[in-house]
Amino acid sequence: MANPCFTQIHPTCIPVSGEYQSKLTLMSESLRNDGRVWVPKKQDDAAAIREGKKTGLEIPEADRDYYLERRYPAFGNLVPRDVASRAAKTACDEGLGVSPTGLAVYLDFDAAIERYGKSRAHSLNEYNADDMRIRELGVGVIEEKYGNLFEMYEKITGEDPYVMPMKIYPAVHYTMGGLWVDYNLQTNIPGLFAIGEANFSDHGANRLGASALMQGLADGYFVLPYTIGTFLSQEIRNPKVDPEGPAFKEQEARSQARIDKIMGINGTKSAETFHRELGKIMWEYCGMARNAEGLQKGRRMIRELREEFWSNVYVPGRIKEYNPELEKALRVADFLELGELMMLDALDRNESCGGHFREEYQSEEGEALRRDDEYAYVSAWEWDDKDPILHKEELIFENVELKTRSYK
Amino acid sequence: MDNMKLKLKVWRQGGKYAKGQFVTYDLDGVNDHMSFLEMLDVLNEKLINLKEDPIAFEHDCREGICGTCSLVINGYAHGPMQQTTACQLHMRHFRDGETITIEPWRSRALSHREGPGRQPRCL
């Protein structure tokens, strides 16, 4: 596993509504092309909105803080995902969040509706269109561009985003890290190749929109057809592998023992409960902003949770039937190890870089501070139940030089 | 609304050759923001805590993309909403106190068996 700490947080998700939620829904980033992100300037207004005494529509223009436009005038609402996400967290941490949980900011299309409405009225030669007509035309344009997204938002929240500004909040979207592979996309298990989102190879510490698709195509079309052939050409004269052979039998016995063990615990808590607890620890201590103390604490908590899992999980049903709970429990067992590895990797990386933001390493203006002199390496981890082992792979840049990005 | 009460009539069948039947569950405390699958998650958590067998159902993306959540709800595939998968169907479209019938899709892998179970045929 390589670079497990690089996690992309997506800024435009539908905010949390309750404990029962299985996942948060991602809204397309294209919405930030036309939507303006804001929170109230005054904490009182934000509190009134949270308590349902006011709505966003009642906050006058002068009392709104379009914080991305203010902080990043050159890029405004189009700053990269990690920057937009952290800025939303900062606003909500300051008590300016606008949903009952306090964890939401507005994404407002009002200005876009007016702008598009005027432009369409102009192209229809309706030079005397009144405000209502302009709005009607503007809503039409927004509907053409984002109709499906607005419909999805309304389905989930029950609120009409053509009238009320949308509420959004960042959520975990993607992990840039993945299975370690070599230059030929082969993992450390000979013959096992990993391509696309499963491996760590293309995105580095961050990832641009739609580039997971790019990686799938690049790995699948341009790399694997050449590298896997080289591997197979050495194997072609090998005799067929015997499924009754000792290697198979050994692995079968190992898998069976794991299943028997997990079914035999017969404890009191469901796999789902452990999964949710793990998720909370990850979000709290290995989320949008991390620090050494939190990461150490998080790792300890996951260790304890793992111990509890292996002594107290309850998996209903039987082994020899379609048993989704057994499948889930086996996955959660893996997640407990992966989660610990993410904490460990984030702790090792004493810098802020891409999808990894360490509070100790930021500029005076709160921007990410990279430390290329010490951390320009890929972290490849070898699992060990007590202390996973880090293998550093140095990053050498021959044709380009490392730069720090700026969106000011 | 966060305390809907529902009566769920769910088709339970132990496997391809077992005899199935409807089992009725009462579920309280349903939030109308829940998706249909999240409502079933809540029921399952309750069943697991009672050490009963949870309801097995297929699901994957839960974002309305993959279409794996194959439930027949009140007689309609994916429920009564048009162009909406079961994971995107929210409980606000049901009434408090409503009885909801939930069945799997008819398929060769799990045929709906109302009569007595029979032995597998040799293929």
ipTM of this complex: 0.86
Q: How many degrees, rounded to 5, is the angle at CA B52 between CA B111 and CA B26?
A: 85
Which chain A residues touch B15 with a CB distance below 8 Å? 321-322
Question: Contact at 8 Å (CB) between A278 and A332?
Answer: yes
CA distance A291 to chain B (A): 32
pLDDT of residue B112: 65
Q: B64–A273: do the CB atoms touch at under 8 Å? A: no
Q: Nearest Cβ partner of A316 from B15, B53, B88?
A: B53
pLDDT of residue A125: 94
Does the pLDDT value for residue B110 go beyond 80? Answer: no
Q: How many residues does chain B have?
A: 123
Residue of B nearest to A323 (CA): B56
Q: A173 Cβ partners below 8 Å, 6+ apart?
A: A8, A9, A10, A13, A26, A81
Q: A270–B34: do the CB atoms touch at under 8 Å? A: no
Annotated domain spans of chain B: 4-104
Q: Nearest Cβ partner of A17 from B33, B48, B54?
A: B33
Name the DSSP letter for residue A289.
Answer: S
Using DSSP's 3-state secondary structure scheme, residue A304 falls into helix
Question: Contact at 8 Å (CB) between A143 and A149?
Answer: no
Using CA atoms in the order B54, B55, B60, B63, what is the torsion angle rounded to 10 degrees? -110
Q: A107 Cβ partners below 8 Å, 6+ apart?
A: A12, A31, A32, A35, A36, A37, A165, A166, A167, A168
Residues of chain B in Cβ contact (below 8 Å) with chain A: 14-15, 31-35, 37-38, 41-42, 44-45, 47-49, 51-54, 56-57, 62-64, 84, 88, 90, 92
Distance CA B112, CA A400 (A): 63
The two structure tokens encoding residue A261: 């063990």
Mean pLDDT of the residues in chain B = 88
Using CA atoms in the order B108, B109, B115, B121, what is the torsion angle rounded to 10 degrees? 90
Q: B33–A152: do the CB atoms touch at under 8 Å? A: no
Using CA atoms in the order A74, A80, A82, A86, what is the torsion angle rounded to 10 degrees? 30
pLDDT digit string (tens) for B24-46?
A: 999 999 999 999 999 999 999 99
pLDDT of residue B111: 67
Q: B48–A156: do the CB atoms touch at under 8 Å? A: no
Q: A23–B63: do the CB atoms touch at under 8 Å? A: yes
| Strand pairing report for B99-104 and B4-12 | parallel
CA distance B34 to chain A (A): 7
* Per-residue H/E/C for A375-395: HCEEEEEECCCCCCEEEEEEC
Put simply, whether A296 touches B (Cβ < 8 Å) is no
Q: Nearest Cβ partner of B45 from A21, A272, A317?
A: A272
pLDDT of residue B122: 43
Residue of A nearest to B40 (CA): A20
Which residue type is seen at A222?
F
Does the pLDDT value for residue B93 go beyond 80? Answer: yes
The CA-atom distances, in angstroms, between B88 and each of A14, A61, A75, A153 are: 13, 35, 34, 10
Q: Nearest Cβ partner of B45 from A18, A270, A324?
A: A270
pLDDT of residue B121: 46
The CATH T-level fold of domain B4-104 is: Ubiquitin-like (UB roll) (3.10.20)
A390: nearest Cα among A348, A352, A354: A348
Distance CA B54, CA B43 (A): 8
Put simply, whether A320 touches B (Cβ < 8 Å) is no
Which chain B residues touch A18 with a CB distance below 8 Å? 31, 33-34
Using DSSP's 3-state secondary structure scheme, residue A224 falls into helix
pLDDT of residue A304: 98
Cβ-based neighbour number of residue A72 at 10 Å: 20
Question: Contact at 8 Å (CB) between A367 and A350?
Answer: no
Pinpoint the alpha helices (H) of A313-389: 324-348, 372-375
Q: How many helices (H) and strands (E) does chain B have?
A: 1, 5
Catalytic center residues of A: 81
A353: nearest Cα among A403, A281, A396: A403
Which residue has 């092309």 as its token pair?
A33
Name residues of chain A where pLDDT drops below 50: none
Does the pLDDT value for residue B105 go beyond 90? Answer: no
Q: A316 Cβ partners below 8 Å, 6+ apart?
A: A325, B47, B48, B51, B52, B53, B54
CA distance A65 to chain B (A): 29
Pinpoint the alpha helices (H) of B20-113: 36-49
Indicate which of B48, B93, B94, B107 best probes the interface with A, i.e. most A CBs within 10 Å of its own CB: B48
Which residues in A132-213 belong to E strands, given as ranges? Answer: 166-175
Which chain B residues touch A273 with a CB distance below 8 Å? 45
Which residue type is seen at A6?
F
Q: A109 Cβ partners below 8 Å, 6+ apart?
A: A34, A35, A36, A142, A161, A162, A165, A166
Using DSSP's 3-state secondary structure scheme, residue B99 falls into strand
Q: Cα–chain-centroid distance for residue A63?
A: 31
Q: How confident is the model at residue B113 (pLDDT cuts 50, 70, 90)?
A: low
